[in-house]
Amino acid sequence: MKAYGQRFVRRLRGFSKDNRGVTAVEFAMIAMPFFILISAILELGVIFFAGQLLDNATFDAARMVRTGQAQVSSMSKSKIEDLICDRMSGLLCTDRDRLFVEVKSYPSFKDLASAPPLVDSNKKFQPPTTFNLGSRSSVMMVRVVYKWPMVTNWIKDAMQDTADGDRLIISTAIFRNEPY
């Protein structure tokens, strides 16, 4: 029995001196946090990129309203949505049911504070439905919302805006129409 115990101790000492496979073990220890970090960077990067595309598309659509081009050509809500989708290189318009456009006229800039919230107290999304191109010198708000589906569950828990786990990417332009 004593020989068996000595043999076991010698083998344990041999393992402690053997460096083969150390890299694989170290990589196994840091692989999961590394891949989680990479997935977070990629998902957040795509969200910020989509937000920038949505901002640019919103400002292009708002320019059409502000200069009177939308009113003169009697643009419909679907035409404004088409314009926004064309400006976003197809990234956000793969599912048009997730895109919401609101164009609303206000009597003055101070009345903009009365704009209804997009999410209620239960985190239920209240899609904007108003579409009014306004007239000359009207105070306008063009708000475009895209319900971005979050991919990674742990980022979804941290960044969701709605009860169904989506992130709302919102772009708003506020201006006074030109006297066209």
The domain ranges of the chain are 20-176
pLDDT tier at 144, thresholds 50, 70, 90: very high
What does the pLDDT read at residue 147?
A: 93
Alpha carbons 100 and 131: distance in angstroms, whole number: 11
Average pLDDT over residues 171-178: 96
| Pair of tokens at residue 4 | 């068996």
- The confidence score (pLDDT) of residue 137 equals 93
For residue 174, pLDDT over 90 is answered with yes
| Of residues 101 and 14, more confidently modeled | 101
Write the pLDDT tens digit of every residue in 74-93: 999 999 999 999 998 777 78
Q: Which pLDDT score, from 0 to 100, does residue 14 have?
A: 67
What pLDDT shows up at residue 54? 96
C-alpha to C-alpha distance for 49 and 16, rounded to whole angstroms: 49
Amino acid at 167: R
Q: Is the whole model's pTM more than 0.85, yes or no?
A: no
